[in-house]
Structure 1
Amino acid sequence: MTISIFDRDDIAARPGPRYRAIADRLRDTIRSGAVPTGTRLPPLRDLAYELGVTVGTVSRAYALAASRGEVAGEVGRGTYVLGQGLHAHGGTGVGSAAFLTMPEATMAAMKAALAPPAGQTEIVGTALTALLAEGQAPGAPSPFNTYLAPGGEERHRRAASAWLSFGDFAPLPGDLLVCSGTQQAILTSILAATEPGDLILTEELTYHAMVQQAGLTGRRVAPVDIDAEGMVPEALERAIRDQHPAAIFVVPTLQNPTGTTMSEARRRQIAELAARHDMSIIEDDIYGALAGERPPPIAQFAPERTWYATSLAKTVGCGLRVGFLKPPSRLLERARAIQNGFGQTVPPLMAELGSRLIETGDAAELCARIRTEMAARHKMTSEALGSYRLTFDSAALYVWLELPDTWRAHGFVEAARARGVAIAAGEDFMVGRTDRAARHVRLAIGQPQTREELARGLTVIASLLSESHIGIVEPA
């Protein structure tokens, strides 16, 4: 059933841009229970005519509702109500189940921030074969029929320490927990460092898995302005003063989706602000090892309050669900207990395999190959799209592309999808508002399985950029 739930007078009376008023009216109606899950919303043109606004305004309103996790659109079927945002389900932002349900990409898949093929099958396969050929020590349990100690065995934590150490940052094995990927490390940090109802500040553009985890566990999330270095300290200080948060979540190296890296001076500022206001920091360094030369982590400047999370997913291969967490020392046992209670630790076979790859140097070799391959792919991307505004780092797995004025992000994503190319809209990364990313998309140039696939995708993107999105104009 298609019904109209938009009261023209109510929308006209709301302050702010029309698109936001439409989205807020939709949100309020959903929360009132008047619109059941599965309700199909009016087509863009129909609602635009009904409300006396442009099609672009309605498109932007629907995009905002989608970023809030309240609706979802499917080509050929329309836009449907999902429910009451993140508290009702997993949302639709980057990292959500909806986002990761990949559309068919007949030309090129460029939606997920995956490392490119770099010999993972051969190198990891050889390591796994050798591991299994060794068999188990006399009296030791099979890795297929045992659990690890919560947080991993000593040998796994020694390997983790070796992998994480660079410069003066050298975490001790006893200070680390081995996790089932970075997401488990982040969830453990959220649960240990904050309480239900607490507020977490994060970059206004960020990876939405953390936003979902916060919402599903009763925490709130609010955005902080970013610039070419990431989170802006002055904006962070204002947000701390006005909103009284419990924690900060930040991706300081190869930030997703912009690819920016925070300077050491700014990292020190973030650490100092957190110390002054007695706040926790959750530092996601999942891309750090790709950067080669990089500043020390924030955890080095504020170890007593920083939860440092990373994994092998982006630097070796995402099929290895092996992550690492360095909590503040005084909260290590609390973190261990929470991790064990919410899913235990990494499977024993994965822990053994990840440790072997680190110890033999294979993990470092794969990371170097990925870095080299990404440099080549960034060169291809710059050559294909160099006349447009690109933000990237040559080691990042993605490019942040600003669209011409004639395009909106979700319209561009749908147009690319219609031509067989899967990419991510800027709104999928927004926290709280969509204005900043309404004309941006992220191209995950590491995901294509070959450079030929990447070239096909870039050809489609370049062609679309040269066209006008007929019917979409600057919203009211």
Structure 2
Amino acid sequence: MTISIFNPSSIAARPGPRYRAIADELRDAIRTGAAPAGTRLPPLRDLAYELGVTVGTVSRAYALAASRGEVAGEVGRGTYVLGIGSAVQTGTGVGSAAFLTMPDATEAAMKAALAPPAGQTEIIGEAMAAILAELPKRAGPSPFNTYLVPGGEERHRQAAAGWLSFDGFAAQPGNILLCSGTQQAILTSILAATEPGDTILTEELTYHAMVQQAGQMGRRVAPVDIDNEGMVPEALERALGEQKPAAIFIVPTLQNPTGAIMSEARRRRIAELAVAHEIAIIEDDIYGMLAEKRPLPIAHFAPDHTWYATSLAKSVGCGLRVGFLMPPPRMLERARGILNGFGQTVPPLMAELAVRLMETGEAATICTRIRDEMAARHAMTADALGPARLTYDPAALYSWMELPESWRAHGLVEAARARGVAIAAGEDFMVGRTDRASRHVRLAIGQPQTREELARGLAVISGLLSESHIGIVEPA
């Protein structure tokens, strides 16, 4: 590790915020060869001490360098230089979340938006055992000796339609494509609905993997203001006129990371704007099944413009890797062709398992248990941290927490990390604004395997929030 590539005098002479000066110093060192690819960077605390700045300042500098695709973090290895132009090759640098991969948490992991344990192992294990027992009696090829047709067979799509349909919303089997999770459904939508160089509008805080996918495919992502319902229609209308986008990406139900649920009136308005401007909507409804009063998706109001994506990951189990895409009907075969071209069809055995769980009602049972468990965990979180700081829906897999003035997000993330707790900073979800400071963190309270683990993690966070002398306000 070397600190010599960071010259305190040079950094002090640079204009603008100190964290940006540090990141720019690192960029220059990379370009001149002083910090070649593979160079391991100093730990945050060591560099902060040498430069006379806060740990949060260095954390933001490293995050900015990661957003540029110049550095990456690896569990057990630290932070190291990738080199100029590495972002597209490595997939890093689209958001600071790629950089902030945490080591194994010793107290609690609360960074990934995972569903809590709710009997999945027992229920899904029994379903799998039943399928395997039936295989020798079945006619036709074994799922171990065949590929699934692109988009799934008729019976797969029939089961999916039953799972996705609810009061007021009827999913049609002929317009459903099975995918390897929601991420593949979103990527397919991006490739089918946009072209390289196009702009995709999204919430100013959003799912970072979509931003990463769009960047890797040569699309630009631009932010739209949000409020307590999600995307603001007036801001969207302005952006439509200014940006001339090809698509809108939106998470209207249990928005990630804020947990907001958009009203029906607003969904209608966003649908109207998309239709009027003749642009596509990519609707990520992965959390929709968890909502106690499930809202009608935007796809219901603009079916000819909406790419509706969801999966079983959050409502049943992320290990199933079975997702569903409903494209605009006229785009169905284009989407199927993209799925086929990628060669990432759902493994037949996973498709069989998903069908059984949906048809028997066991998927719905797990979903209900997850919803109940999350309500209990949110109550625990509010008791531990104080409800005034938290924004959440009882069914969401995470809670959005505002920090006191004495803390910035990356400072708290680093402090929690030092005490064995993994959480995500607000900057991890920012679109096009990775140099902005955040005073929010997302607590993925569904990830801990037990309530006891969650309680330990919450105790650490509560303790840090009370230690105001540790919290740091960074200099401009």
Please give the TM-score of this superposition, normalised by the length of structure 2. 0.91
What residue is the counterpart of 1:203 in the other structure?
A: 203
What residue is the counterpart of 1:91 in the other structure?
A: 92
CA distance in 2, matches of 1:373, 1:45: 38
CA 1:8–1:187: 2 relative to 1, 3 Å: farther
Q: SS where residue 200 of structure 1 aligns?
A: strand
What residue is the counterpart of 1:174 in the other structure?
A: 174
CA distance in 1, matches of 2:391, 2:86: 30
How far does residue 215 in structure 1 lie from its aligned partner after superposition?
Answer: 1.2
CA 1:300–1:32: 2 relative to 1, 3 Å: farther
How far does residue 470 in structure 1 lie from its aligned partner after superposition?
Answer: 3.6
Could you tell me whether the CA contact under 8 Å between 1:298 and 1:306 is conserved in 2? yes
Could you tell me whether the CA contact under 8 Å between 2:97 and 2:429 is conserved in 1? no
Q: SS where residue 318 of structure 2 aligns?
A: coil
How far does residue 82 in structure 1 lie from its aligned partner after superposition?
Answer: 3.0
How far does residue 407 in structure 1 lie from its aligned partner after superposition?
Answer: 1.7
Structure 2, unaligned stretches of length 5 or more?
none
Q: Equivalent residues in 2 for 1:43-58 (5 A)?
A: 56-58=56-58
Greater displacement, 429-438 / 215-224: 429-438
Q: SS where residue 319 of structure 1 aligns?
A: helix
Q: Equivalent residues in 2 for 1:391-410 (5 A)?
A: 391-410=391-410
- Determine what percentage of the aligned residue pairs are the same residue: 77
The one-letter amino acid of 1:390's match is L
How far does residue 171 in structure 1 lie from its aligned partner after superposition?
Answer: 1.6
Q: Equivalent residues in 2 for 1:284-299 (5 A)?
A: 284-299=284-299
How far does residue 453 in structure 1 lie from its aligned partner after superposition?
Answer: 1.1
CA 1:446–1:471: 2 relative to 1, 3 Å: closer
- After superposition, give the CA deviation of every residue in 1:181-200 in whole Å (9 maximum; x if it has no partner): 11111111111111111111
How far does residue 210 in structure 1 lie from its aligned partner after superposition?
Answer: 0.8
CA distance in 1, matches of 2:6, 2:96: 30
CA 1:424–1:60: 2 relative to 1, 3 Å: same
How far does residue 130 in structure 1 lie from its aligned partner after superposition?
Answer: 1.3
CA distance in 1, matches of 2:230, 2:79: 33
Q: Equivalent residues in 2 for 1:272-421 (5 A)?
A: 272-386=272-386, 388-421=388-421
CA 1:408–1:220: 2 relative to 1, 3 Å: same
What residue is the counterpart of 1:126 in the other structure?
A: 126
The one-letter amino acid of 2:91's match is G
How far does residue 272 in structure 1 lie from its aligned partner after superposition?
Answer: 1.4
What residue is the counterpart of 1:266 in the other structure?
A: 266
How far does residue 230 in structure 1 lie from its aligned partner after superposition?
Answer: 0.7
CA distance in 1, matches of 2:314, 2:441: 20
How far does residue 268 in structure 1 lie from its aligned partner after superposition?
Answer: 1.2
CA 1:75–1:182: 2 relative to 1, 3 Å: closer
Could you tell me whether the CA contact under 8 Å between 2:408 and 2:471 is conserved in 1? no
Q: SS where residue 350 of structure 1 aligns?
A: helix
What residue is the counterpart of 1:66 in the other structure?
A: 66
CA 1:467–1:397: 2 relative to 1, 3 Å: same
What residue is the counterpart of 1:466 in the other structure?
A: 466
CA distance in 1, matches of 2:102, 2:403: 23
Structure 1, unaligned stretches of length 5 or more?
none
How far does residue 123 in structure 1 lie from its aligned partner after superposition?
Answer: 0.8
CA distance in 2, matches of 1:412, 1:447: 19
How far does residue 238 in structure 1 lie from its aligned partner after superposition?
Answer: 2.0
Could you tell me whether the CA contact under 8 Å between 1:253 and 1:285 is conserved in 2? yes
- After superposition, give the CA deviation of every residue in 1:194-243 in whole Å (9 maximum; x if it has no partner): 11111111111111111111111111112111111111112222222222
How far does residue 81 in structure 1 lie from its aligned partner after superposition?
Answer: 2.6
Could you tell me whether the CA contact under 8 Å between 1:181 and 1:311 is conserved in 2? yes
CA 1:398–1:179: 2 relative to 1, 3 Å: same
CA distance in 2, matches of 1:351, 1:43: 45
Please give the TM-score of this superposition, normalised by the length of structure 1. 0.91
